[in-house]
Amino acid sequence: MPQKLRVTKLAINQDLIHMKRQTLVLSIAIFLITFSSVAQNGSCAFDGYLEKLEAEDPDGFRAAQRAHHSNIDYYREQNPGPYYVSNSSITATALGGGNGCNKATYLLPVVVHVLYQGSNSVTSSQVDNQLATMNSAFKNGVWNSATNQFESIGVQFCLAQTQPDGTAFSGITTHQTSKAINTVYDLQSLMAVVSYDPARYINIYVVDDIQATPGISGNVGGYASYPYPNFSATYDGIVVDKNWVGDYVSVGSLVDPQSGGKVLVHEVGHYLGLYHPWQGGCNGGYTAADGCDQKGDNCCDTPPMAVANTTCQVPPNTCSGDTLPDPVENHMAYGTDACRDRFTSDQVSIMWSVLDYQRNGLWQVTNINAMNLTCCVNAIALSGDNIGCTGEQVSLETYDYGSGTSYTWQIGTGPSQTQASPIYQPTINTVGEYDVLLTIDFGGGSTVSKTFTDYLEVVDCTPLLSTQANWYFGKYAGLRFTTSGVIRDVEPSRLTSNGQIHTNEGSISMSDSSGALLFYAAADTGKNSILNPTFHLFNAT
Ligand SMILES: [Zn+2]
């Protein structure tokens, strides 16, 4: 089957049936930068910067915001919470970093670019410690009040081992440059020094200093690009002051004594779509009835707070609409590194939404398999054919390294197939939409398992003839494709029984070989339909 016809089918199906989904899928990774600082001695300009962006381009900003929120809404509709992966089933042995393996759905490759002026003081063990802190924070990231334990966010960060040109490296690059003194928002000058494809790598820039005012040494810990869709393609990455890379207890005087490695946990939160919990202040929404999922930080489980609060002692309640204390222990708040220890389930739904839509290039199987990761891999993802023909082989693939010893596949309610290869190529003979259940056994009793709902669509690919198609352009002009050639037509050759295609509007239609109408699309939204549910446009030859 020609690949491009599959694409046609996808596009048209989305257009006709899944308008909302198409909007989401097309909301690909285009980013703008937002700014924040979580250094204890710094103030955060995130909220002010959002206001600045809105003032510069009010319509574009609001449209980007709506698209972002629409993605979140759609994700939550399709994926009911709670949003975490149970930690209780994780038994994998630690292979590196000392924090064990995350049971991860999303494996994210990271490149750390160290920019320095004089001599480089940032060590690889300091970077390793920082990633271990991020992995620990995401592994033990959501408090489950039902079980009184932390659950996993299902995200694992891993240093990439392959550069964009295919050569091996450590995951860290170093650059002696005057740009190591950075001014907030100026991510472009860092990207001009070095940037690996942001669709494939999380670019983390470690700099000597981040200055809120040029020439005045730093009171800023870090900042990150924010994944609003369709707003600006200029910026992508995370910037951190070297004094906040790693945990002081582990790396000592290389970092600020207050550093617990949480600045980058916070910045990754922004990078994955999170606001501060005081977004919208006390108007952030308290309950579902007043739209807590739509207002403020779009999370119902982070009580509104009036202002940023840097204390962790006896959390105040700065908003009168509830009796809950301010969420000062949240990673997206401004408590000290020692204080901040959790995200919430609703925050995770936003991060997973961003990972599924705006940042879905990072964890694709083809990307991860090219990265030659050496960190502890205990993750699962799926790629390959998601549309196939009856009676023809489809190819499914998952991560092909880590310590996977066997892979068990089940298509729909069919039999399970266990094999050593991460590539599975079944043949399905019946038209339908199928769940794919994949279980990876890592040995030692550790497994990960996930159902990819309706992942595989199998259709009847019996070809239709192009002579069964008609194009009608409206205003009495049209084309009919016949076995004797294309002829002018002044009417759509087929009208639906209720006459939905009118002679003054453009339309296309397709019939089967006996002339029965299978599909039509007319100019007005809503006047298009697939009349036969088993019909797919890419059947046409
Ligand atoms: Zn922030």
| Comma-separated ranges of CATH 3.40.390.10 domains in the chain | 31-356
Q: What's the 14 CA to ligand 1 centre distance in angstroms?
A: 36
Q: Is 240 helix (H, G, I), strand (E, B) or coil?
A: strand
Token duo for residue 142: 């959501």
Q: Which residues contact 167 (CB under 8 A, 6 or more apart)?
A: none
Q: What's the 332 CA to ligand 1 centre distance in angstroms?
A: 6
Q: Which residues contact 149 (CB under 8 A, 6 or more apart)?
A: 87, 88, 143
State how far the Cα of 414 lies from the Cα of 398, in Å rounded to an integer. Answer: 19
Least confident segment among 330-334, 350-354, 528-532: 528-532
Asked if omega into 164 is within 30° of 0 (cis), the reply is no
- 45-72 exposure pattern, b = at least 16 Cβ within 10 A, e = fewer: bbbebbeebeeeeeebbeebbebbbbbb
Phi, psi for residue 222 in degrees, rounded to 5: -175, 170
Q: Which residues contact 463 (CB under 8 A, 6 or more apart)?
A: 539, 540, 541
Query: Could you tell me the pLDDT band of residue 206, with boundaries at 50, 70 and 90?
Result: very high
- Residue owning tokens 């797919």: 536
- Is 2.60.60.20 the CATH classification of the domain at 380-459? no
Q: What's the 343 CA to ligand 1 centre distance in angstroms?
A: 13
Q: Which residues contact 209 (CB under 8 A, 6 or more apart)?
A: 180, 181, 182, 217, 218, 241
Q: What's the 297 CA to ligand 1 centre distance in angstroms?
A: 12
DSSP label at 512? Answer: -
The torsion of the CA quartet 137, 141, 147, 148, rounded to 10 degrees, works out to 60
| Ligand 1 (single-atom ion) residues, CB below 5 Å | 36, 46
Q: What's the 34 CA to ligand 1 centre distance in angstroms?
A: 9
- On whether the CB atoms of residues 108 and 198 are closer than 8 A, the answer is no
- Region of 164 on the Ramachandran plot (φ > 0 left; ψ -120 to 50 alpha; else beta): alpha
Query: Could you tell me the pLDDT band of residue 35, with boundaries at 50, 70 and 90?
Result: very low
Average pLDDT over residues 10-28: 29
Q: What's the 202 CA to ligand 1 centre distance in angstroms?
A: 18
Q: What's the 275 CA to ligand 1 centre distance in angstroms?
A: 7
- On whether the CB atoms of residues 149 and 87 are closer than 8 A, the answer is yes
- On whether the CB atoms of residues 305 and 326 are closer than 8 A, the answer is yes
Q: What's the 351 CA to ligand 1 centre distance in angstroms?
A: 15
Whether pLDDT at 192 is above 90: yes
Q: What's the 316 CA to ligand 1 centre distance in angstroms?
A: 20
Average of per-residue pLDDT values in the chain? 80
Q: What percent of the chain has pLDDT over 70?
A: 77
Q: What's the 308 CA to ligand 1 centre distance in angstroms?
A: 10
Q: What's the 212 CA to ligand 1 centre distance in angstroms?
A: 14
What is 31-356's CATH superfamily?
Collagenase (Catalytic Domain) (3.40.390.10)
Q: What's the 255 CA to ligand 1 centre distance in angstroms?
A: 20
pLDDT of 400 = 77
Q: What's the 71 CA to ligand 1 centre distance in angstroms?
A: 21
Whether pLDDT at 363 is above 60: yes
| Comma-separated ranges of CATH 2.60.40.10 domains in the chain | 380-459
Q: What's the 335 CA to ligand 1 centre distance in angstroms?
A: 11
What is the pTM (predicted TM-score) of this model?
A: 0.80
State how far the Cα of 49 lies from the Cα of 229, in Å rounded to an integer. Answer: 17
Q: Which residues contact 56 (CB under 8 A, 6 or more apart)?
A: none
Q: What's the 266 CA to ligand 1 centre distance in angstroms?
A: 6
